[in-house]
Structure 1
Amino acid sequence: MASILPRLRLGSIAPNFQAKTTHGDIDFHKWLNGSWAILFSHPADFTPVCTTELGAFAKLKDEFDKRGVKMIGLSANELGSHDQWISDINEVCSTNVQFPIIADADRKVAWLYDMISQDDLDKLAKEGGIAFTIRSVYVIDPDKKIRLTMLYPASTGRNTAEVLRVIDSLQTGDKEGVVTPIDWTAGQDVIVPPSVSTEDARKKFGEVKEVKPYLRFTNVGK
């Protein structure tokens, strides 16, 4: 099966699928509906790291809403299990999970999005059975293109602030035609790309600080 997995390159169209979720049946491309989105996977329901992650994402719903970003999770269990787990998350994390969670007990979406580790693939080849999903994050833009991926092992919880940071970077870059430096956060100086001359950059942005001919900073606000 591994040989027929799609290549999820940056800039490629996010594969479509139909699935059951805690908010009803969806067609993924129709659900996107021209919005930014993040799709993030979890190895299983009722697991400790996943519980903390979903609680953290739920608490940031307003921040994702401000950026026009839909959230959708995936966990490799049946729908009924998801509903029970959400109750636990809301209780433990003092939040209210409002985004859908995909039921993927058969790993259909996990295979489609290559949410499987090589260790599990090797184990399946030798012993059979079914694979766990890793912690994947896909940032998808309004054109349904994959703009960023993050892949974590099951043992490591994600950083929600980094997910928001890269969305800010992508959206700022698309809007302003700039790129962002290391550890950049919204409001800090951005970099003028090499394809834009300093003269043109000053016409567009006003003040441009030239550190080197190839390294020029400006500020475009939030």
Structure 2
Amino acid sequence: MAKSSLKNALMVILLVITIACSTKLCKAIESPQYKIVHSESDFEIRHYRESVWMAAPVNEISFEKATRNGFHRLFQFIQGANLNFSRIYMTKPVLTSIVPGAGPLHSSAYFVKFYLPDKFQADPPLPLPELNLQPDPWTSHCIAVRKFSGFARDSNIVKEAEKLALSLSRSPWENTTASTSEYAYSIAQYNSPFRIIGRVNEVWVDVTGSRANGCESNPIAAY
């Protein structure tokens, strides 16, 4: 498929999602479950329950290109490109995890992830091999989250991650970043590119903490 045709197809897909979210149906879109265990003005700590995601590995310098590539493959999967021929409802957010590297965004590889709805958590459909997708099981653990508005771009995601790191360094959660995590940080996107106003994005970083506040004391690598 030509690049222009692929781009047009992706835009149509995202337009359908946008139309769906303009109705009450959007409220039914599932998200991973969590509870807030610590909150400050510019970040919060969330304790996420066990869950299973589907992940698309992408070797790419650009965060934006990697997200488009991975999302396109994941969308084929939820539209029935799996060995069960199952149709899977869209969930949110679309999560792009950044693997540390030497590129201009401190990365050369990404994992674009889709949270599986409750119906498929226990028995995820197997993706077609040519999509190069893999299930990504999460253990129960804590994540530091910073919200930011507008569009998540190559030009701003590193700055947003640095702001979260600075906030953590000035809080009781200093030195709690999970050093064994295979991801530097992740970017969660909740809106389609057609939404201009009121966009919601988040930077996610694995953290450790005490069992008293709901976080395991040992570093957790996978999420």
Please indicate the TM-score interval, normalised by the length of the shorter structure: under 0.3
TM-score (normalised: structure 1)? 0.27
Greater relative contact order: 1 or 2 (C-alpha under 8 angstroms, separation 6 or more)?
Answer: 2
User: Which structure has the highest strand share of the two?
Assistant: 2
Max Rg structure = 1
